[in-house]
Amino acid sequence: MCCSVGFARAMGLALLPLAVCCILANLLLLFPMGEITYIKQDRLAGYIWYFGGLGGGGLLMLIPAVSFITLGKCSCCWNESLMMCGSVLAAIIGLLGSAYCFVISGLALVQGPHCFTSYGWSYPFADQYGRYLLKPEIWPQCHQPLNIVEWNVTLLCVLLGLAVLEFIICLLQLGNGLVNAICRPCCYKQEYSLNA
């Protein structure tokens, strides 16, 4: 069990910086190029307000991270199988959070930024279903905020990558927790029967 607890703690320590990076990336999306005028005027893309990085990949991911790190610290209140069942539940929460971050970031990337064009404030790339990503020559259609397409694409791609890493880590811990929660009691029964 020490091996699986150590693995879970390592997974928790890996999740912490990923969660912090998701929070920072989402906060940066709220302030294009570091300016606060666009958030005050409600000129941000709609999907940014769903807080995929802040909520799903960030704050929600802190639950499994802290759960994995503190696993086994209180040996008086948990038996080993129950402890791993708790880590399985935390891993499921992490899977849901990372999936939410991935979906919202993907939808925001496909929709494109909300920006000022020659026709006013709009989503000039919304009807292209993400094809604008392969055509950087049309990005200058967005006049304000300055370089908003690059800003959004970079940060949303970072969120997508972080969400995938978080999902993989939580999936690994889910497997680790299930194997240890289910198989560990069986192993103990075999040890007792061999000693008898």
For 79-102, what is each residue's pLDDT tens digit? 666 677 788 999 999 999 999 999
Quick one: pLDDT band at residue 75, thresholds 50, 70, 90? low
Q: How does DSSP assign 99-135, residue by residue?
A: HHHHHHHHHHHHH---EEETTEEE-TTGGGTTGGGG-
Model pLDDT, residue 31:
94
Q: How much of the chain exceeds pLDDT 90, in percent?
A: 68
Alpha carbon 81 to its chain's center: 27
Residue 195 reports pLDDT greater than 90: no
* Average confidence (pLDDT) over 172-190: 73
Instruction: Indicate the pTM of the whole model.
Output: 0.87
